[in-house]
Amino acid sequence: MDLENRLQLLKGISQEIVTEAELRDLLETKSKPTAYDGFEPSGLAHLPVGVYRPLLLKDLLKANVKFKLLLADSFAWINEKLGGDLDNIRVVSKYFLEVWKAAGLDLNKIEVVWHKDHFDDGEYWKKVLLVAKHHTENRTKRALQIAGRAEETSHVAQLFYPSMQVADVFQLDVDICQLGLDQRKANMLAREVADKLKWKKPVALHHRMLLGLDGITSASASDEAGIDAEINAKMSKSKPSSCIFVHDSTEEIKKKLGGAYCPAKIVQGNPILEYMKEIVFRAFKEVTIERPVKFGGTVTYTSYIELETDFVAGKLHPMDLKNTAAIYLDKLIAPIRTHFEKDKTANKLYEEVKSFNITR
């Protein structure tokens, strides 16, 4: 695959690239750059983690990028996920791997890294302290959004979170930070620290945070306030009513989408349109909407923009859009759901995770 096609693939999975010029230069000088993302194991997998992320990873691999998938068990422990029980956190990590495998991600093509392996490495902690020495306490507190928290912490250990995450970038020796937009502050800090310490400066390639079913009235990301608004409206496991899980039944998916925010003719902040654009049209070459002749008859779209154009023009009713989204999302979720029903190892992990006391 030539450089331009690789670049287009990476742009296609990104809401923001810092910077595109640096990314182009990286692809020109390195045939197989390394990217990473980290995941806090924190409960049952939902649409962003179980369906959306594997789709993005497949495009990343097509672009000939090596990917390191960091199971951030240490971060979940510090962040008091699952009550800070490290054994339970590691069970959820293994469960996540089963989810990604069931979603069609070839785990043999990526490198799985357990963060616990860093803890016995003195060089890693040296990097953590060097990072900490090159930014202020206020900057750390502002960056705590990456941990899903406000500037206040429940204990001092949480203040290590941003410095540890930045140190990971250099410990893993990555060229690209390919994380969600909610991790932007850590990635910007990593770039600044790289300049100060003369370390390799990573390209930040941020993917979109999928909206929760409640949507948002203004999803503009044109400024920092807009980005924060998007992050606050993201689909979160801690808000089950506005979240789709990979274990939801066909009926549950249809019911949840049926009650989702989807005002007629409105694109901005519309989660159903976002799922169609970011997930459905990424996974399927065409989408067919079946409806009675009196309501326009069956129509097939070969691109998202065609669908959006009809929706904005009032030619596509919100309920028809919701019903269609439910059908196609269920097609993607069904193999995962079935895997956990039929595979004994996966089912055991699922039952264990269900039994845990999930904490934010």
- Exposure pattern of 140-154 as b/e (b: 16+ CB <10 Å)? bbebbbbbbbeeebe
pLDDT score at 153: 64
Q: Could you tell me which residues are beta bridge partners of residue 18?
A: 204
Q: Walk along the chain (360 residues) and give the pLDDT tens digit of each residue.
A: 899 999 999 999 999 999 999 999 999 999 999 999 999 988 899 999 999 999 999 999 999 999 999 999 999 999 888 888 999 999 999 999 999 999 999 999 999 999 988 878 889 999 999 999 999 988 888 888 776 665 566 678 888 899 999 999 999 999 999 999 999 999 999 999 999 999 999 999 999 999 999 998 644 443 445 566 677 788 987 777 789 999 999 999 999 999 999 999 999 999 999 999 999 999 999 999 999 998 889 999 999 999 999 999 999 999 999 999 999 999 999 999 999 999 999 999 999 999 986 655
Q: Minimal CA–CA distance to 189: which of 252, 132, 242, 123?
A: 132
Strand order in the sheet with 66-71: 16-18, 203-206, 176-177, 34-39, 66-71, 111-114
In order of their start, the domains of the chain are: 3-206 (3.40.50.620), 224-355 (1.10.240.10)
**Contacts (Cβ under 8 Å, ≥6 apart) of 303:** 281
pLDDT score at 232: 77
Give the whole-angstrom CA distance, residue 22 versus residue 28. Answer: 10
pLDDT score at 226: 58
Give the whole-angstrom CA distance, residue 152 versus residue 312. Answer: 42
Q: Could you tell me which residues are beta bridge partners of residue 147?
A: none
Give the whole-angstrom CA distance, residue 75 versus residue 175. Answer: 22
pLDDT score at 224: 43
- Cβ contact 86:77 at 8 Å: yes
Residue appearing with tokens 């800090």: 189
pLDDT score at 148: 67
pLDDT score at 222: 37
Residue 176: burial class (beta carbons within 10 Å; 0-12, 13-18, 19+)? buried
pLDDT score at 147: 67
pLDDT score at 174: 97
pTM: 0.91
Residue appearing with tokens 């962040």: 79
